[in-house]
Amino acid sequence: MTESTRHPAGPNTGEPLGVAVVGYSFMGKAHSNAWRNVGAFYPDVPGVDRRVLVGRDPDGVAAAARQFGWAESATDWRSVLDRDAVQLVDICAPGHLHAEIAIAALAAGKHVLVEKPLANDVAQAEQMERAAAEARERGVHSMVGFNYRRVPALALARRLVAEGRIGTVRQARVSYLQDWLTDDDAPMTWRLRQETAGSGAIGDLASHAVDQLGFLLGQEVTSVSGTLRTFVGERPGEKGPEQVTVEDAAWATLHTSGGAVASLEVSRVAAGRKNALQIELYGSQGSLAFDLESLNTLRVYDTADRSGTSITAGPAAVLTTEAEHPYVEAWWPPGHVLGWDHTFTNQAADLLAAIGSDTAPVPGFSDGLAVQRVLAGIQESAATGGAEVKIQHSPPSA
């Protein structure tokens, strides 16, 4: 079949979209769970048909396909692109494969979801963004998987900032700390090799942090200065000690187009921190604070009189489980908290809704490219002793 005769499922077809997920470990499991549940909680979005799970190991991917409820498994992602029954390709493979798979899938007329970060470097991200723009003209959509945009508390924080509830944001602090590499004897993985991961804590954790700044503030990062450190330079590999070629931790100062200044810290060697994405925004009339390890709570300090609303003046810990809060209406009664996995289901629903209405999904590849440029700026700054680096941007998605 030639590209010109391919017709991706789109608005008003009434037919479910056949989905293929490439990758079946950590992220593949999270995305598989989302595709399994999205129709049950979001019945108004286009339906999905879980067609095929793709992985390199035939026995491993077959077992995962059975476990996660996929119709079948495959070991060659290229063969999936020739299937008329597949209209959406969800890429959960290591970063060095993102560009090749995504560009080929878009050319084949498949809608595409790519896990963050969009690519391993700016050049690949630019290629992907161009491919996505061309595909949009043919009704083929794409999105990058920054799932924390779908945390109800963070979506609420974005709404409050946009409404001016904390005034003009002047300062921000964003940290994302984990401890899974604290032990010097933790084994080598693809995430510790520059050729497969592109970077370490920068791409893995800072990508989320930088995306949240743009998401919450509605502003671009215009300049950065940064520092990188690799604390453990060698890890046990399958054939003996292996050199670590990415950073364990990073620090940066970021300036935004709206005049805010943000401090950023990310680490995979922060003992005792399991998955601590912490965000603090300080405005001229109040502040907001969030911690992913308590992801249903948004801490709000509002100096204005808000009598008669669900958020009062002064300090408040808002439990974001009310139906009025973003995404929550699809789930449980008030007080019944959501979890990390729900963000992927919410993300899948947003993508399906965009495809069904033939509107550009957000965040798009242009947003992923914007984040990639900031990450590259931090790396460039660190390589030059922390000098300030200006960031070039295209207009961000709404």
- Domain of residue 98, CATH code: 3.40.50.720
Quote the crossing angle between the two packed helices 207-217 and 365-383, to the nearest 10°: 120
pLDDT one-digit tens code per residue, 250-277: 999 999 999 999 999 999 999 999 999 9
Domain-located, residue 196: yes
Indicate if 171 and 304 belong to the same structural domain.
Answer: yes
The parent domain of residue 158 ranges over: 152-294+296-338+364-390
pLDDT at 2 over 70: no
Indicate if 230 and 331 belong to the same structural domain.
Answer: yes
Q: Is 223 exposed, middle or buried (0-12, 13-18, 19+ CB in 10 A)?
A: middle
pLDDT one-digit tens code per residue, 73-122: 999 999 999 999 999 999 999 999 999 999 999 999 999 999 999 999 99
Q: Tell me the mean pLDDT in the region 123-134.
A: 98
Indicate if 216 and 82 belong to the same structural domain.
Answer: no
Going by pLDDT thresholds of 50, 70 and 90, the confidence category of residue 198 is very high
Going by pLDDT thresholds of 50, 70 and 90, the confidence category of residue 303 is confident
Of residues 250, 264, 259, 255, the one with CA closest to residue 383: 250
- Upper half-sphere CA count for residue 258 (Cβ side, 13 Å): 18
Indicate if 142 and 262 belong to the same structural domain.
Answer: no
- Angstrom distance (rounded) from CA 36 to CA 32: 6
Domain-located, residue 397: no
Indicate if 283 and 168 belong to the same structural domain.
Answer: yes
pLDDT one-digit tens code per residue, 365-378: 999 999 999 999 99
Looking at residue 393, what is its pLDDT? Answer: 78
Domain-located, residue 351: no
pLDDT at 312 over 70: no
Domain edge (last residue) among 112, 147, 182: 147
Indicate if 140 and 250 belong to the same structural domain.
Answer: no
Indicate if 100 and 82 belong to the same structural domain.
Answer: yes
Are 388 and 381 in contact by the 8 Å Cβ rule? The answer is yes
Domain-located, residue 269: yes
Indicate if 198 and 310 belong to the same structural domain.
Answer: yes
Give me the amino acid identity at 150: R
Of residues 90, 91, 116, 99, the one with CA closest to residue 207: 116
Indicate if 109 and 228 belong to the same structural domain.
Answer: no
Segment holding 160, helix H or strand E: helix 152-162
Total domains, the chain: 2
Indicate if 139 and 184 belong to the same structural domain.
Answer: no
Q: Tell me the mean pLDDT in the region 239-259.
A: 97
Domain-located, residue 358: no
Domain edge (last residue) among 147, 167, 195: 147
Q: Is 377 exposed, middle or buried (0-12, 13-18, 19+ CB in 10 A)?
A: buried
Looking at residue 309, what is its pLDDT? Answer: 55
Compute the mean pLDDT over every residue in the chain, rounded to the nearest whole number. 93
- Angstrom distance (rounded) from CA 260 to CA 153: 21
Looking at residue 132, what is its pLDDT? Answer: 98
